[in-house]
Amino acid sequence: MASDVIVIGAGVIGLTSAVVLAERGRRVEVWSREPAVDTTSAVAGGLWWPYRIEPEAAAGEWALQSLREMSELAARPADTGVRMVAGTHAEIGPADLGPWAARVPGLRAAGAGELPAGYGHGLRARIPLLDMPTHLGYLHRRLAAAGGTVTACTVASLAEAGRAAGTVVNCTGLGARDLVPDPDVHPVRGQIVVVGNPGVTEWFAAAAHDAADILYVLPQPYGVVLGGTALDHVWDRTPTPAVAEAIVARCARVYPALAHAPVLAHKVGLRPARSRVRLEAARLPGGARLIHNYGHGGAGVTVSWGCALAAAELSEG
């Protein structure tokens, strides 16, 4: 076998898992039917925050491990795509979050003067904000430096990968619904609008856990990402003009200058959701070790490094 490990999927979960394994000395090959720039990860807003992910306790630990890694990567933002950016999450307090929140440096209640009009309370934090196209490119380079490769191909079955390597890591996201098959996997449709930046320097979010219409403003090097939506079981990837108008209007209530910012792009991504993340080991016919690492919903970026480390441990067990 040319490779010790086949990682299926080239989104942020797959590439991060491949990097961790390759840097531990494994011969790693990533199989993906689409390049990283065409995955859901490339559309992600990129804010570190454990959003709509279960199990809560494990997700909090994975998120904190990722926070530590990303905080180091933020020293080289042009290379890694990671910056530490201050911002506000409105309408939540420490009691609304899991135990992980107490271990986030600098996370605190927002003062009255730090909240936009119409919001009664919230939290302030300086946390990672990732430019995802740049970060995915960084992961590709880091994987190559560790000896890993990426192959464009369509995987017919997990057993096919098991015949090519002794360990298979399934990071197929939404594709796991058919590949495993796992009917618990489903899309959560997210639509965003990218506009020119009129001077926004901080991120802002107001996203209830189960809301279909959410609000976030994320300043990126290429513009400001305005969101968004979280529609369960919706597969349509075509941006909806009326939804885009509503997104801009919601965000402009927080930053009025956004109402007149030039629109640069409309995008839709399908978050690969599941009732809980599947991160566990199994065996394929023929004896190959199978590691499932999928079902991260809207928090794949947030838990990417923590889940990659856990997957690597499972692969060695």
Instruction: Report pTM.
Output: 0.97
**256 lies in some domain:** no
- Tell me what pLDDT residue 1 has: 53
Which domain CATH number covers 308? 3.40.50.720
Pairing of the two strands 149-152 and 28-32: parallel
Dig out the tokens for 109 from the structure: 């209640």
Q: What is the pLDDT of residue 317?
A: 74
Tell whether 268 is covered by a domain: no
| Residue written as token pair 């600098």 | 106
Count how many domains the chain has. Answer: 1
Residue 216, in any domain of the structure = no
CA gap 266, 17 in Å, rounded = 29
For the annotated binding site for FAD, the residues are: 40-41, 155, 172, 297-302
Question: Domain containing 62: what range?
Answer: 5-85+127-185+274-316
Mean pLDDT of the chain: 96
Predicted local distance difference test score (pLDDT) of residue 130? 98
User: Are residues 90 and 206 in contact, defined by beta-carbon separation less than 8 angstroms?
Assistant: yes
Q: Is residue 311 part of a domain?
A: yes
The string over 256-290, giving b where at least 16 C-beta atoms fall within 10 Å of a residue's C-beta and e elsewhere, is eebeebeeeebbbbbbbbbeebbbeeeebeeebbb
Domain assignment present for residue 206? The answer is: no
The annotation places the binding site at 40-41, 155, 172, 216, 271, 297-302
pLDDT tens for the 317 residues of the chain, in order? 579 999 999 999 999 999 999 999 999 999 999 988 889 999 999 999 998 899 999 999 999 999 999 999 999 999 999 999 999 999 999 889 999 999 999 999 999 899 999 999 999 999 999 999 999 999 999 999 999 999 999 999 999 999 999 999 999 999 999 999 999 999 999 999 999 999 999 999 998 778 899 999 999 999 999 999 999 999 999 999 999 999 999 999 999 999 999 999 999 999 999 999 999 999 999 999 999 999 999 999 999 999 999 999 999 97
On whether residue 246 sits in a domain, the answer given is: no
Residues contacting residue 276 through CB under 8 Å, at least 6 positions apart: 54, 55, 295
Structure confidence at residue 209 (pLDDT)? 73
Enumerate the known binding-site residues for D-dopa: 216, 271, 298
Distance CA 156, CA 153 (A): 9
Is residue 146 in a domain? yes
Q: Is residue 50 a part of any domain in this protein?
A: yes
